[in-house]
Amino acid sequence: MPKVLRESIKQWVKTYCPYCGVGCGLLAGLKNGSVAKIKGDPDHPSSLGDLCLKAVYLPETLATPDRLLHPQMRRCQDGPFARVSWDAAIQFLARAFHEIIDEHGPDAVAFYGSGQLTTEEYYVGNKLAKGFLGTNNFDTNSRLCMASAAAGYKASLGSDGPPNCYADIEVADCFFLIGTNTADCHPVIFKRLKRRKMAQPDRVMIVAVDPRRTETADFADLYLPIRPGTDIALLNSMLYVLLEANLIDRDYVAQHTRGFAATLKVIKKYPPVVAEEICGVPECLIVEAALIFGKAERAISLWSMGVN
C-alpha cells in the first residue's frame, strides 16, 4: 500500500471478520468515514493478529459499486425500486406486521437471521419477535449449520460446545481432521496447525479424512480418501483398532461415560477389513490412522461441515 495512504489513516477501530467460524479480530483503518485498510488485531484470542485474504479484501467488498446502501421500495411486484427514507421503510414494515398479526395471529410471522449476526443482535431480534410480537418463530442459518453438531455434542459430551480451545493447538501432537478443508475454509487456523507441525515435524502428526484431495490433505502426514457418507463406519473401525491395541483408557471410560457396553456391540461389526469395503479406504490406512491417534499424548479432532 502506498505510504501516503498509510499515513492518511488516523483512526483504527476494533472489529471482527464476518466470514468463517474462526471469528478473527480485525483493526479497520478509517479514511473519510470509510474502511480503507484492514489489519489483524494482535490482542484477539482466536487469530492473534493473523489474517487471511478474505479479510484483507474487505475494504474492496464494502466499496463495491453495486452495494445497496439505502432502503428501496416498489409499488407493485413488477415495478421499479425507488429509494425511500429509513422512517418510511420502517413504518411500512410495521404496518405490514400489524396487518398480518391482526388477521392471522403472531405465529403467522417469522424471522430468519444470518450466522454473521452478533450475540447482541440475536438478542435484539429475539426480543422483538418474542417479547413484542409474541412469536417464537426466530431462527437462523446457524441452526442449519450447527444443530446436528450441537445435538451430537450434547449426547456424547454432556454439553453443546466443543471441550477444547484454540490454544490447545500449540501443545497438541496429533490433529485428526475429518470433513474439513481447513486450508480453504479456516485459513488462520490452518496456518496455526502448520506452524505447530513445522515446530516439531517428527513428533506432530496430521491425519486428514476427506473424499477430495485438498491442500489440507496434501499437508497431512496421512490422507484417507473416504467414500462420501461413510464417516461413522470409519470412526467405528478406528475404535475397533484402538480396543484391539489396548489403547483405551478403561478407568476413564468407567468413571466418566455411560453406554460403553452397548457401543462395544456396534464396534465389533466394524473390523478394518469390513470398513475398507464400506469406506473405500485401505485397511492398512485405517489401522495406521487409529494407531497415530491412539498413541498420541495430546490429540485433537477437528471437523467442519463435511460431517455436520
In order, the DSSP letters of 83-135 are: E--HHHHHHHHHHHHHHHHHHH-GGG--EEE-TT--HHHHHHHHIIIIIII--
Cell of 160: 453443546
Question: Rounded to whole angstroms, what are the CA distances from 307 to 27, 164, 242, 302, 304?
Answer: 33, 18, 21, 10, 6
**Domains, in order of start, for the chain:** 3-62 (2.20.25.90), 82-157 (no CATH), 166-303 (3.40.228.10)
- Which residue is listed with cell 404496518? 95
Q: Is 286 helix (H, G, I), strand (E, B) or coil?
A: helix
Q: Is 229 helix (H, G, I), strand (E, B) or coil?
A: coil
Q: Per residue of the chain (308 residues), what is the pLDDT tens digit?
A: 444 445 578 899 999 898 888 889 999 999 988 899 999 999 998 899 999 999 999 999 888 888 899 999 998 999 999 999 999 999 999 999 999 999 999 999 999 988 778 889 999 999 999 999 999 999 988 888 788 888 888 888 888 877 888 999 999 999 999 999 999 999 999 999 999 999 999 999 999 999 999 999 999 999 999 999 999 999 999 999 999 999 999 999 999 999 999 999 999 999 999 999 999 999 999 999 999 999 999 999 999 888 87
Q: Dihedral of CA 119/125/127/131: which sign?
A: negative
| Buried b / exposed e along 147-179 (16+ C-beta atoms within 10 A) | eebbeebeeeeeeeeeeeeeeebeebbbbbbbb
* 280: alpha, beta or left? (left if phi > 0; alpha if psi -120 to 50): left
In the chain, the amino acid numbered 265 is K
Please, are residues 30 and 13 in contact by the beta-carbon 8 Å criterion? yes
> If residue 251 lies in a helix (H) or strand (E), which one and from where to where?
helix 250-256
Q: Is 223 helix (H, G, I), strand (E, B) or coil?
A: strand
DSSP symbol at 245: T
How far apart are the C-alpha atoms of 168 and 189, rounded to whole Å?
Answer: 12
Please, are residues 149 and 305 in contact by the beta-carbon 8 Å criterion? no
How far apart are the C-alpha atoms of 266 and 260, rounded to whole Å?
Answer: 10
